[in-house]
Amino acid sequence: MIQSIEQLCDLIELAPETLALDIDSPFPLKVPKHFAQQIEKGQPNDPLLRQILPDLAERQPVPGFVADPVGDLQSNPQPGLIHKYHGRALLIASPRCDIHCRYCFRRHFPYEQAKKQHWQAAIDTLKNATDIEEVILSGGDPMTLSENALIDVIGELEAIPHLTTLRIHSRTPVVAPERANRPQLLAKLSQSRLQTVLVVHCNHPNELSEQTADCLQAYRSAGVTLLNQSVLLKGVNDSADTLAALSKKLFRQGVLPYYCHLLDKVAGAGDFDIEKAQAWAIFEQLRRRLPGYLVPRFVEEIAGEPYKTLLTETD
C-alpha cells in the first residue's frame, strides 16, 4: 500500500514539485501498489493518477458542492444502515477503502458509525424489516474486512428468511485484485442461498489487467453476477472512445456495464465535474457505437429521490 506522495512519485517517475500537490490534505493519499503500477510513468495527466492524487484544487470551495451530496445522512435511520430505496438497504460494513478516490461521494461521511457493534445492530433491524429483500454491503469497502469477518456477515444475512439477494459494492477487485481473490469467501458465495451480485467500480480501461481478469473470473466461477459502475470524470473518461474501450474490456473480463454516474457534487471534487449537455453528447456517441448491453445507464443520484435519475436530452 502506498500512502506517501514521495513513494508514489518515485514509482511513476515524476518529481513532486512538478505537480500541484496538496501534501497536507485531510483526505490523504492511499493507493494499492497494483493500481499504481497501471499508471503510465512520467505522465502527470495520466487518467489513473488523476483519480488518486491530492490536488490543491480540492481546497477551492465550489458553489453547490457539499459534504453529503446524495443525502446519505437523511436516510441513515441508525448507525451503519442506509435505507433510501424500496426493498433494499445498504449496510456500512467497513469504514475503510483500499484506495482513496478524490471524487468519492462519501469522503466526508462520519465513518465512526461503521463499527462492528453498529452493523450488528443494523443486522438486527434488518431481521424485522420484512419489506427488505436485498442487502447491499458497502462502506468504505466491505472487502477491507478480514475474510472471516466478511463470511460471518454474509452468514448472518443468509439467516434472515426474507432476504433473497446480496449485493457487494467493491473497488478492491479492480485496484487490488490480490486482496479480493479469497478462496474461503468464494466458496461461501458459491454455496449461498442468496443470489449474489458483485458491483465493481472501474472508470478507465487501463485499470483492468491480467490480475483483475483472474480475480473476476474466480467470482464468475462461484456463480456471482458481475456488474460495473463508473463515474463520469473530467480528465479521466470524458470521451466516448474511452468509455467504449472500457465497456469492451469489462465484457472481455466477464463484467457488464451497469451505471455511469454523473459526478456527485461532493465538496473537494469540483475539478472533476462535467456539464450535463456534454454528458448527454458522450452518451449519444456511445449508443451509436456499442450494442445496447454494453451501454451503461447514465444516471445521477438526487438526494431524497426514490430512485436514481436517468440522464435525458432535456436535462
For residue 140, cis peptide bond before it (omega within 30 degrees of 0) = yes
**Concatenated DSSP letters of 56-113:** GGGGS--TT-BS-TT-TGGG-SBTTEE--STTEEEEEEES--SS--TT-TTTT--GGG
Query: In a 3-state reduction of DSSP, which class is residue 197?
Result: strand
Residue 104 counted as an annotated binding residue: yes
CA distance 120 to 254: 33
- Write the CA distances from 164 to 175, 181, 198, integer angstroms: 29, 24, 15
Residue 101 counted as an annotated binding residue: yes
Residue whose C-alpha is closest to residue 264's, from 101, 143, 147, 113: 101
Q: How far is C-alpha 10 from the geometric centre of its chain's CA atoms?
A: 27
CA distance 71 to 303: 5
Q: Which residues pair with 257 in a beta bridge?
A: 228
* Residue for grid cell 502527470: 44
Residue 215 counted as an annotated binding residue: no
**Binding residue numbers for [4Fe-4S] cluster:** 97, 101, 104
**Binding residue numbers:** 97, 101, 104
